[in-house]
Amino acid sequence: MTAEQLISTEIIPLKTSDTGEEALSIMSDYFVRHLPIVNNEQLLGLLSEEDILNEDVHEPVGAYSLSVSRPYVRRSDHIYEVMRLMAEHELTVIPVVDEQGNYLGAITLEALLHHFARTATFTEPGSILVLEMDRRDYSLAELARLIELEGATILSVYLSSVPATTKLEVTIKVNTLDIRHVVATLQRFDYYIKARFGESEYYDALQERYEALMSYLKV
């Protein structure tokens, strides 16, 4: 999936003549903390709520100093690049431009989360396993082989580093509710299973965190 498929034209970009007060009002209407500044379809930058509060709200935003260094994605960029830039700059909105740098629209953090919430990773029934291992021992091919030996299939894999160590935390979703045989096989091959979650337990926790995040974004 590319950035173009998640573009929202509802977010109103700012003109350089708009004031900080007007920008804050638009941010409040759309529950975001960033807005693109556009001049004749050309993307000039991204204004944050913090930028406005550090300036005179009655002044035009074209005179403001911007704290974010003009982040954007091209319409053909993969959605993973969208995620990377939004996380790197802690954005609630990221502008999308064409090959000439013309502004096409924006992607909101809420739209990005809604997209992933609708993917098979979350909607397909299954169970969650969390493994911890040294980086040099990680092999997705080997994990898939062992899990498939027990008639299960990996739906998704998420890797995260364990701070101050050389270890990885590997979160795996499989397409079966009964994971006893999968667990037994992994343990037989000396994999350390840090945690396991049934589908309903995992879904409830995920739903609770998702609702909390949506509530935070609308504060």
Measured in whole angstroms, the distance separating CA 177 from the mean position of its chain's CA atoms is 26
As a whole number of Å, the end-to-end CA separation of the chain is 29
Q: What is the pLDDT of residue 132?
A: 96
Q: What is the pLDDT of residue 172?
A: 93
The model's pTM is 0.66
Q: How far is the CA of 158 from the CAs of 7, 161, 171, 175, in angstroms?
A: 26, 10, 5, 15
Contact 38, 104 (CB under 8 A): no
Q: What is the pLDDT of residue 122?
A: 66
- What does the alpha-carbon distance between residue 145 and residue 191 come to, in Å, rounded to a whole number? 14
Contact 107, 96 (CB under 8 A): yes
204 and 134 share one domain: yes
162 and 130 share one domain: yes
Q: What is the pLDDT of residue 130?
A: 94
- What does the alpha-carbon distance between residue 102 and residue 134 come to, in Å, rounded to a whole number? 46
Q: 219 lies in a domain?
A: no
- What does the alpha-carbon distance between residue 209 and residue 203 come to, in Å, rounded to a whole number? 10
Measured in whole angstroms, the distance separating CA 78 from the mean position of its chain's CA atoms is 13
User: Can you give the pLDDT of all 219 residues of the chain as single tens digits?
Assistant: 789 889 987 888 999 999 999 999 999 999 999 999 999 889 999 999 999 999 999 999 999 988 877 789 999 998 889 988 998 889 999 999 998 889 999 999 988 888 877 765 666 788 899 999 999 999 999 999 999 999 999 988 989 898 889 999 999 999 998 899 999 999 999 999 999 887 555 556 666 666 666 666 665
Q: 218 lies in a domain?
A: no
92 and 167 share one domain: no
Q: What is the pLDDT of residue 129?
A: 93
Task: For strands 192-197 and 103-108, give the pairing.
Answer: unpaired
> Of 97, 115, 133, at which residue does a domain stop?
115
106 and 130 share one domain: no
94 and 75 share one domain: yes
Give the domain range for residue 141. Answer: 120-210
199 and 165 share one domain: yes
135 and 105 share one domain: no
Contact 21, 58 (CB under 8 A): yes
Residue with tokens 């998704």: 156
**The total number of residues written for the chain in this structure:** 219
Q: 96 lies in a domain?
A: yes
> Of 72, 100, 115, at which residue does a domain stop?
115
- What does the alpha-carbon distance between residue 126 and residue 83 come to, in Å, rounded to a whole number? 25
Q: 215 lies in a domain?
A: no
Helix axes 199-217, 109-117, angle to 10 degrees: 170
The domain spanning residue 98 has which CATH number? 3.10.580.10
